[in-house]
Structure 1
Amino acid sequence: MPGGRLSHQDRLDIADGLAGGLGYAEIARRLERPTSTISREVARNGGAGGYRADHAHYATASRARRRRTGSAATDVPAADPRRAYVERFAAMMVEGGLPRMASRVLALLYTSDTRTLTAPELVRELRVSPASISKAIGYLEQVGLVHREPDPVRRLQHYVIAEDVWLKAWEVSARTNHNWAETAAEGIAVLGPDTPAGQRLAQMAAFFDRLSEDMSGGAGFQDCLAVLAVLQGTVDAGAVAAALGWPVERVTDVLDYAVKTSGEDLAEQPAGEAAVGEA
């Protein structure tokens, strides 16, 4: 079995294993380490319920520096502060519900000077397999947080973070809450509104429906979208973008969103109500 100190990646794998409910022996087998090494590492750094890979890595380095009294500080390799920040940034997004690898890719792209990286660069920076990057990029593209652009010279794809990434993330969250509400409503119809389960689902549906409406801005916001949808053909997107200091793409995205959302709202209304609204 390999010896030496646990690496940062080893500790990330330990944290993943604990989160997935694996025992120390299974984690040790996957890392090709003695079980005692894993058990000591976890016990020393918060236990199975409180183990955090980044904290464990830096705490171990700190203990090593304290033990090496009389040695120069440069004898201990310093942690890369940028890499550490990217991991903390990603951990925050994971706590918010984003998949772990997608969070790491998004955090790295967001902290890049150019807001764009290629797949080989992501693999090198995050020290993971190309397949992991491909899966994470696929998810981020699906929810609109990242898009790809071809390299004009080389046969490479550049992955670019969306200009309005946090607005898009907010919209994804609002849609998720709406889906929760709809799923709960379907359950009420299946199980019956008078059953204990149906009553719990009714509370769930009401909660997520209100949350989704609040995140979407409520009825007033929908009225604004309806007006924007009507004006879409007459609005000078370039002039609006210049006045707001936005990219033109962001203005056109808002107008497209207004058309899509307003159309869905009208489709959900009974025919009589839609006619009154149009009148």
Structure 2
Amino acid sequence: MNSSMITASVTAGQLQQKLDTISNNIANVNTTGFKRREVTFSDLLHQQINNQTNPNYEMGRLTPAGLRSGVGAKVASTALRLDQGSLVGTDRELDFAITQPNHFFRIGIEENGEQIEYLTRDGAFYLSEDPDNPDLVTIVTSNGDFLLNGGFERISFPLDFEEIQLSPEGMLNITLNDGTVLNAGQLALTHVHKPQLLEAAGNNLYRLPDFAALGYAEADMLEEVPGNEGRLMQGSLEASNVDLGREMNELLTTQRHYQFTTRAMSIADEMAGLVNGIRR
């Protein structure tokens, strides 16, 4: 009975993690560029119990001998699924949709006077005053973090502009009020070859891992590619790749599994109460 309680309680805790993951997916069904996560399970340790000491009683047995007693299941992985989301037209100059998987925008965040680089698929950008020059504006995310170009620098241009256009080569061309066309730099993307190693950093951002600690060279993990027409689409956004119907089905199934697990704990507790209540 104690084994039943342990197995059920361990599995219930792991099922709660899956419920949390599904809830996070559902909560971000309308988040631009969001990528869902999928939970998989694996068995925990188990032991072989040889309950039959006389082999003569096992003659003709077709099933494996003995009993296998496990202690539940655990979350094996929470995989990031980078399936392409649908493209939604916005006709907005600062909306850029990535059209290929495993590609990300490079974002720079100031932390303790140092620029830390993050990745995102969210292509909804805005303009903000350049902190180094009040006569310039720079492209930022909705949280005020800087969009970086191919040289890992901010994209800045004068305030008196009229139009922002992405060229087929991935160049950002800024048309000023006097008709002058200014090249603000190339909009580059980061191609991640092993996206499962990315660490979620919140706010729809991903943090790059410590490649040296993992035994990888950065050149084997990342590749900077130009944001040309084959990879970027101006005036559009990539929607979340969360399928609400599928997530609701997974939610109901997991809740039912959780219900069965808690019922097993309740039954084990009732059996323990019956045993403890037996009197001579």
Using structure 1 for the length normalisation, give the TM-score: 0.24
Give the structure with the higher percent strand: 2
Q: Larger radius of gyration, structure 1 or 2?
A: 2
